[in-house]
């Protein structure tokens, strides 16, 4: 596959210069020319007709030149002599309104026309009925706009199916469901809006089934076309995006062509996307289906509405990946969270760098997480260093399917542990605290009194007990002080954390609830989104703000003792 490498290491220069993101490939000329010729002849059914001829415009007239290399790569990578496609997967990330739906429909119509497999099956998978209806309507419109194609294909609206009258090949819109997808023998699959599909609990299974058809179809292909997620990427969308970036950057070799219209990371982080000179870089259809005046107007409106709306606007129109999703009712400390990370801060590093450590624990029932925080005071600087972990009962995967994929991501990262018995979680949490105690650094542990008995009992078994060491932290409005102190420490750079994805999510979930004199952060106001590890941080801050000294029965000068 060396000659068919799809890596594009100079993608940053290409995207900023407005050049094609498709690298040089040894495409088959006859297949390329044929596909492009058909593509340029297809009519666009939802644009104004020519006032003189009365005809609908063609793709050749209205499509941007950036589209032609993509069409060429999809069809020009097919070796008809051996019925094998050298590039079988395509991942296409592009902002809204850049002709994604029109292009997708046109590509699938071309696939039907060029197909040489008898009774070939092609499917267009969309996560919702509305999206599926839009895609089918566009494909239907392309066919009905051309008398020759209208004769060649039979369109069945009630079945959402288009059939080639001569060769029996079909294009069908299917629901994103494993029961519908299982056992498919499709030659070509186009998946629309993966970031929406990713929110389904069985999204990974659906993608696995769709890819499975390629096993017996070396001439087959799977195309994913999507905009950036409206939330922090998670689940199958996150993993597919990471894979596409790895291929693009040359870190992973596989027959997948990534076409990612996104700015270089530094420009995204520093709000460089706001500069109009970069708009064309990630909106290749600017001036065609994307109206620059509209973008300018909506940017101003988003800035007026606040950070939350601004980030949402950036994610959909400039493919800026969302980190901490701020809201109007979001916790103010979230604004500084991403800037206070130290990826080198591990459990062991915390023990090495601190002169005292407090622990915070927060957890509820089986539907909640058991949140755990270690907060240390750094030697010399006095900064607070925070490290986190969480546990979840296996039943959460079923009871909270909307967040199951995200929790599994945290498990893979090592920040969360699934357990079948909560007493296992209590024991593991107590072991971590005991390890700090043995190091001679432990001051005390701050608990949410509700639901703390399991960990408290486990600590007693390890010789850690007493009201001076295990301290119940009053919640609700009484926690307002630690919440404020946490915000101040973050904004001043006096609190640094390990940059764990688990906490980025928890912080983005945190909502504030107004009281008479201030506001509070509570689980109730955050709904089903989990914030238990963040609440554990507030409990730990409650203990650290009194400038504690170690109360360990061990002494720090004994040196670090490691369990196990």
Q: How far apart are CA 315 and CA 310, in angstroms?
A: 9
What is the model's pLDDT at position 397?
A: 87
Q: How far apart are CA 523 and CA 374, in angstroms?
A: 20
pLDDT digits (tens, 9 = 90+) for 391-422: 999 998 888 887 888 899 999 999 999 999 99
What is the model's pLDDT at position 457?
A: 93
- For residue 531, pLDDT beyond 70: yes
- For residue 317, pLDDT beyond 90: yes
Q: How far apart are CA 169 and CA 458, in angstroms?
A: 64
Query: Residues near 54 by Cβ (< 8 Å), separated by ≥ 6?
Result: none
- Of 283, 288, 369, 375, nearest in space to 320 by CA: 283
- Longest alpha-carbon distance in the chain: 91
Pairing of strands 384-393, 161-164: unpaired
How is residue 3 written in tokens? 């000659």
- Of 195, 196, 191, 167, nearest in space to 181 by CA: 191
Distances (CA, A) of 133 to 124, 186, 359: 10, 20, 53
N-terminal to C-terminal alpha carbon distance within the chain: 46
- For residue 539, pLDDT beyond 90: yes
What is the model's pLDDT at position 96?
A: 93
Question: What is the CB-side half-sphere exposure of residue 233 using CA atoms within 13 A?
Answer: 18
Instruction: Classify 301 as helix, strand or coil.
Output: helix
User: Where, residue-wise, is CATH 3.30.420.280 in the chain?
Assistant: 334-558
Look over the chain and give the mean of its residue pLDDT values, rounded to a whole number. 88
What is the model's pLDDT at position 42?
A: 96
334-558 belongs to CATH 3.30.420.280: yes
pLDDT digits (tens, 9 = 90+) for 7-28: 999 999 999 999 999 999 999 9
- For residue 517, pLDDT beyond 70: no
pLDDT band at residue 335, thresholds of 50, 70 and 90? confident
User: Where, residue-wise, is CATH 3.40.50.300 in the chain?
Assistant: 2-261
pLDDT band at residue 178, thresholds of 50, 70 and 90? low
Query: Residues near 378 by Cβ (< 8 Å), separated by ≥ 6?
Result: 353, 354, 355, 384, 385
What is the model's pLDDT at position 559?
A: 44
Higher model confidence: residue 503 or residue 306? 503
2-261 belongs to CATH 3.40.50.720: no
């Amino acid at each position: 596959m060396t000659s068919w490498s799809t890596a594009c290491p100079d993608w940053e220069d290409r995207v900023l210069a407005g050049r094609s993101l498709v690298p040089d490939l040894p495409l088959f000329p006859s297949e390329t020319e044929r596909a492009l010729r058909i593509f340029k002849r297809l009519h666009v059914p939802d644009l104004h007709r020519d006032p003189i001829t009365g005809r609908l415009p063609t793709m050749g007239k209205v499509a941007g030149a950036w589209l032609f290399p993509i069409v060429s790569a999809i069809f020009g990578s097919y070796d008809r002599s051996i019925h094998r496609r050298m590039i079988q997967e395509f991942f296409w990330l592009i902002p809204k309104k850049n002709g994604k739906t029109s292009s997708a429909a046109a590509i699938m119509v071309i696939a039907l026309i060029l197909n040489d497999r008898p009774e070939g099956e092609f499917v267009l998978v969309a996560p919702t009925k509305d999206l599926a209806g839009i895609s089918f309507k566009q494909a239907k419109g392309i066919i009905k706009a051309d008398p020759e194609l209208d004769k060649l294909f039979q369109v069945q609206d009630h079945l959402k199916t288009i059939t080639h009258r001569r060769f029996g090949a079909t294009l069908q819109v299917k629901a994103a469901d494993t029961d519908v997808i299982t056992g498919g023998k499709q030659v070509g699959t186009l998946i629309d809006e993966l970031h929406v599909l990713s929110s389904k609990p069985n999204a990974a299974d659906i993608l696995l089934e769709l890819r499975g058809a390629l096993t017996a179809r070396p001439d087959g292909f799977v195309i994913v076309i999507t905009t950036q997620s409206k939330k922090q990427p998670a689940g199958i969308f996150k993993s597919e995006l990471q894979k596409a970036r790895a291929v693009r950057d040359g870190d992973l070799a596989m027959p997948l062509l990534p076409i990612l219209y996104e700015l270089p990371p530094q420009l995204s982080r520093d709000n460089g996307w706001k500069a109009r000179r970069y708009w064309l870089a990630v909106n290749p259809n600017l001036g065609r289906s994307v109206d620059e005046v509209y973008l300018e107007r909506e940017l101003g409106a988003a800035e007026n509405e606040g950070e939350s709306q601004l980030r949402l606007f950036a994610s959909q129109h400039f493919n800026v990946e969302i980190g901490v999703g701020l809201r109007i009712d979001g916790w103010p400390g979230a604004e500084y969270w991403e800037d206070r990370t130290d990826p080198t801060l591990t459990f062991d590093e915390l023990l090495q760098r601190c002169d005292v450590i407090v622990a915070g624990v927060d957890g509820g029932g089986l539907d909640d997480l058991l949140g755990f925080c270690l907060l240390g005071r750094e030697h010399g600087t006095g900064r607070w260093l925070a490290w986190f972990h969480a546990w979840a009962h296996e039943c959460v995967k079923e009871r909270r399917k909307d967040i199951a994929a995200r929790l599994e991501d945290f498990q893979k990262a090592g920040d969360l542990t699934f357990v079948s018995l909560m007493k296992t979680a209590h024991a593991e949490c107590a072991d971590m605290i005991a390890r700090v105690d043995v190091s001679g650094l432990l001051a005390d542990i701050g608990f949410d009194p509700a639901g703390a008995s399991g960990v408290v009992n486990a600590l007693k078994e390890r010789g850690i007990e007493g009201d001076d060491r295990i301290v119940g932290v009053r919640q609700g409005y009484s926690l307002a002080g630690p919440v404020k102190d946490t915000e101040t420490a973050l904004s001043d750079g006096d609190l640094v954390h390990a940059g764990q994805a688990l906490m980025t999510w928890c912080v983005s979930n945190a909502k504030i609830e107004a009281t008479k004199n201030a506001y509070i952060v509570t689980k109730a106001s955050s709904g089903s989104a989990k914030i238990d590890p963040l609440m554990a941080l507030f409990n730990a801050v409650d203990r650290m703000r009194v400038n504690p000294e170690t109360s360990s029965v061990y002494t720090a000068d004994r040196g670090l003792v490691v369990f196990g």
